[in-house]
Amino acid sequence: MSEAAEIATITEGMKKALGTGDSGLNATLKFDFEGKGNIYIDGKAKPNTVTNENSPADCTITVALDTFKKMVARELDGTTAFMQGKLKVAGDMSVAMKLGPILAKAAG
C-alpha cells in the first residue's frame, strides 16, 4: 500500500472514531507525516472534524508514518517517541499531552 493510501486509511479511521462526537481535544491538532501528508483534527468544531488539510494548528506533531502506526498499534509510547527524537511537537504542548486517548480511539 502506498503512503498516500495508508494516510487515507488512517484518516478514515480517525473520522469514524472522532468525527462523530467530541474528542475532548478542544483544540486543533495536525499530524505532519514529514511532508508526505497530513491529518488535521479540529477538536473545536462540534462534532469534531478530521481532514487531510494542511492548515495551521494549535499543535503540530511531525512524525514518520511508520512511527505513527507503531504508536496507534501501541507498540511505541508517544512520550518515548518524543524522547527518542522520533516525534517533534510544535505549538501547544498541552494539546500533544492529550494524544494518548485520541490514538486509543483511533485504534478502536
pTM: predicted TM-score of the whole model, two decimal places: 0.89
Please give the distance of CA 99 from its chain centroid, rounded to a whole number: 7
Query: What pLDDT does 16 receive?
Result: 82
Q: Three-state SS for 101?
A: helix
Q: Is the pLDDT of residue 29 over 90?
A: yes
pLDDT, tens digit, 9 for 90 and up, residues 33-89 = 998 999 999 999 888 899 999 999 999 999 999 999 998 888 998 889 999 999 999
List of residues 6+ apart from 97 with CB closer than 8 A: none
Of residues 2 and 107, the one with the higher pLDDT is: 2
Pair 6, 13: CB distance under 8 Å = no
3-107 belongs to CATH 2.102.10.10: no
Q: Return the domain boundaries, the chain.
A: 3-107
What is the rounded CA–CA span in Å between residue 32 and residue 73? 18
What is the rounded CA–CA span in Å between residue 21 and residue 59? 20
